[in-house]
């Protein structure tokens, strides 16, 4: 699994009411996400449902497997009301683009790819030390075996 930063920057474009917001990764965001999938409702820093009528930024670190993923995000407004939002989603600080006219029926939808980050310097050094230790042990065994073979030939 790869720790992945998901950042949602959202703002109302025509909406004047407070809303809840849903986010789904690798599954469809139900139109009635608050009741059908309450675990998909964005939470604030206290763990309560995020409810607002103003622009916000929501950041979350999630564990995802390497490969392609899909994300959906939507406010709880309905299309027929004419109340819409816009949003930009960033994955590991890379923008997936901005989408507008967002509501329950027209969620933000994008795909992205998660790749394993390159090893840190500490991980590289640790790996090299492990390899060197293994080689040194192999050299000691070969040397010891050579000594044993020499001793056996003398007898």
Token readout for 93 is 């600080």
Q: Dump pLDDT digits (tens) for 57-108.
A: 999 999 999 999 999 999 999 999 999 999 999 999 999 999 999 999 999 9
pLDDT recorded at residue 153: 76
pLDDT recorded at residue 62: 96
Q: Can you say whether the dihedral through the CA atoms of 117, 119, 122, 126 is positive or negative? A: positive
| Predicted confidence (pLDDT) at residue 14 exceeds the cutoff of 90 | yes
Q: How confident is the model at residue 155 (pLDDT cuts 50, 70, 90)?
A: low
- The beta strands (E) that lie in the chain are given as 2-12, 21-25, 56-64, 67-75, 85-91, 94-102, 108-114
Domain-wise residue ranges, the chain: 2-114, 119-155
Q: Which of 35, 41, 37, 30 is nearest to 8 (CA)?
A: 41
User: pTM above 0.85?
Assistant: no
In order, the DSSP letters of 26-49 are: SS---TTHHHH-GGGB-B-TTSSB
78: Cα within 13 Å, side-chain hemisphere? 3
| Predicted confidence (pLDDT) at residue 56 exceeds the cutoff of 80 | yes
């Amino acid at each position: 699994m790869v720790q992945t930063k998901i950042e949602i920057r959202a703002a109302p474009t025509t909406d004047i009411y407070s809303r809840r917001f849903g986010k789904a990764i690798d599954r469809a965001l139900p139109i009635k996400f608050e009741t059908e999938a309450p675990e998909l409702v964005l939470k604030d820093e206290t763990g309560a449902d995020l409810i607002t009528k103003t622009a916000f930024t929501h950041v979350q670190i999630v564990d995802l497997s390497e490969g392609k993923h899909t994300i959906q995000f939507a406010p709880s407004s309905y299309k027929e009301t004419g109340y819409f939002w816009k949003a930009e989603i960033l994955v590991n600080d890379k923008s997936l683009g901005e989408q507008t006219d967002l509501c329950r029926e027209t969620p933000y939808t994008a795909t992205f790819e998660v790749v394993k980050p390159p090893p840190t310097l500490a991980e590289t050094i640790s790996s090299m030390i492990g390899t060197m230790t293994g080689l040194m042990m192999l050299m000691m065994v070969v040397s010891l075996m050579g000594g044993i073979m020499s001793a056996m030939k003398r007898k």
